[in-house]
Structure 1
């Protein structure tokens, strides 16, 4: 049985502690290779990446280099339970919740309306039959009536923050190695870590062992909007595997860079696994001092930032332990007490979480294609993919608001960009278009037909 913490989450502060645009641009179907292709770009260089990450080239659009990946949805086909459960479908993207305890179909229906399809952490008396009957997934062991061969139990969550719990680090590694042996080959193993595995507080050799030796999917939690890390003196974010600038530390951009840093650690052994990301849906702090609560705009932007930086799953920290609004299950509070003083705040955040989750879910067939690298312009952090005759550009700023001009790569020749859900369009001239990002949390979705 996986180890469940005595409280729903340990303190990230003690453990180690965007404007976003999604642009769909029409391209000629003749330019596609096979049934689909994809392209991605980011401003951040990869000069520190292992050589194997720099090899692949394509002639599809401007001879762009590919972003290395683990294989998208096809990755899950090697695990029998995940394959039977449809995780290898291009339309599936894992979106999960931590200690989102459920006791009824009604509760799961509410969660599904907010885009949740996967659960981690649960009261051990939970009836496992709720998962197959509602077509959602449980990553763990030990529930009432659980079947370890069920397609609705595709993987096992080994433990939370073993890198920050055990001393010395080797004790945590031995703990995970023992848990890994109990999983079997039909399910995948997953673990979540603190930012120690991408920071300066742990030997690099131990960071690489934690990230690479025990899991088939891995994540790091670091709640930039709602913990004091950005104000610490001396500031240490510049020592991360991918440096986090202090000037833009408390922005959505930092969540994306965190996932990029984890991908860098994961790539060190020459093998890639899905890297997932954790975001607080209300608060990421426990104990004093009281921390700020993430806003609806911030949590949406943080999620999109991690997607741009190649996160393969979104998972939500679902508790609040500081300040006036404290809850062991924010989602349930939003469902059952939406008109109380704190309930109104919970509901606003959970509704926003649902918006971004469902946007990601709708884009799963695009997100599950491989990406290519392209820099669209100064101050833009971006991802470009090709799918079924369209190019999709996911873009955010570098943590600062303002106007940005995008330069399209060769092979993309749309004449106008439609801004979805905003009833406006933008002209494309000389392969360039310009848009404004009112805040670092702003994001848009663009689409244009060809000519």
Structure 2
């Protein structure tokens, strides 16, 4: 669970919220140890020198460019020159010989339109793990860009949580072995520096749904873009927010962190048969876990799920909700109130 370009002095408050990684950090004169001494980890950006990073065990990776697939961060005149700049920077960092993996953040190159045409597979292959940022809930132009993608399902609404899981699918589609290199997903926490008049601010409920959609589609990390220009909140929208909003975000992150031992296991291939949903199946310590959310072009309402053969439990525990559901002939039914609603089901194997 990372924050993008977090302010070093916020480390303790971000950790209390449930964030455990700085995906780059402001280079504001603070020391790297001012972050890592709190127990936070850091993916160091190029603003930080090798001497500032040193042998600090809390610095776990290096970052490269941000959105080089769109020609941002890097400065080539075309996608091939941008890719070459990315490759050159990666080679420079590899030469450090410190064993730290290398990260890049990408954006609209995953859409398969005019950005990074013919090179997105190479951009993803250039680094050890990558993230992607397209703020579908809050930016109508992002929605228009999604609709222009040949991979976008016809008629689907981009301003839903399922659009975030779709982005992870798009990243995996450019990998020779999908998921062999981890994919992370950006989710905004307010209004991410948007200038258009119809820009929106994400709600904590939408934010939670987007994060879980990404995880269900095999995201291995969630990156939070907290910078904000909604005057209702401060610039740092994980820190400068009212207590009630902060409590909701903290609860959402805690729910993810609590399931980390399960999420960090390999998924099983399984079609649970519930139309209009996205699901992920895992197993840990004698229990099966079925994660479910509404898919693109899916609708809220009642959904019936089929469990794999061999499940012995006759009741499903709905994790974190204090309720159970009866299993009948290997199936159970539950309701989804909103497009961002997600449920986690646990049952004895």
One fold, TM greater than 0.5? yes
**Deviation string for 1:5-33 (max 9, x for gaps)?**
xxxxxxxxxxxxxxxxxxxxxxxxxxxxx
Structure 2's unaligned 5+ residue stretches are: none
Aligned partners of 1:446, 1:236: CA distance in 2, in Å? 31
Structure with more of its chain in strand, by fraction: 2
- CA drift of 1:413 comes to 2.6
CA distance in 2, matches of 1:304, 1:325: 26
Is 1:220 the counterpart of 2:124? The answer is no
Q: Is the 8 A contact 1:404 1:436 kept in 2?
A: yes
CA distance in 1 between partners of 2:117 and 2:268 (Å): 29
Query: Given that residues 385 and 391 in structure 1 are in contact (C-alpha distance below 8 angstroms), is that contact kept between their aligned partners in structure 2?
Result: yes
The equivalent residue for 1:160 is 66
Q: 2:40 matched to which residue of 1?
A: 136
Deviations 1:411-435 (A, max 9, x none): 2231011223333211000000000
Shift of 1:352: 2.8
**1:376, distance to aligned residue in structure 2 (A):** 0.9
CA drift of 1:259 comes to 0.5
Are the counterparts in 2 of residues 198 and 262 from structure 1 also a CA contact under 8 Å?
no
CA displacement, residues 351-380 of structure 1 (integer Å, 9 cap, x when unaligned) = 333222222211111111111111112222
Q: After TM superposition, give the deviation of residue 436 of structure 1 in Å.
A: 0.5
- Aligned-residue offset at 1:290: 4.3
CA distance in 1, matches of 2:239, 2:322: 34
Preserved contact between residue 283 and residue 294 of structure 1 (Cα < 8 Å): yes
Picking from 178, 182, 197, the partner of 2:88 is 178
Change (3 A) 1:292 1:170: same
Q: Which runs of 5+ in 1 are unaligned?
A: 1-94, 335-343
Asked if the contact 1:418–1:426 (Cα under 8 Å) also holds between the matched residues in 2, the reply is: yes
CA RMSD of aligned residues (A): 2.2
In structure 1, the partner of 2:105 is: 192
User: How many aligned residue pairs are there?
Assistant: 336
Deviations 1:245-294 (A, max 9, x none): 443321101100111110111236x8820000000011235223241100
TM-score normalised by the chain length of structure 1 = 0.70
RCO comparison, higher one (Cα < 8 Å, 6+): 1
User: TM-score of the superposition, structure 2-length normalised?
Assistant: 0.89
> What per-residue deviation string (whole Å, max 9, x for no partner) do you get for residues 95-121 of structure 1?
100122022xxx322211221111123
Instruction: Say yes or no: does 1:281 pair with 2:178.
Output: no
Q: 1:302 matched to which residue of 2?
A: 210
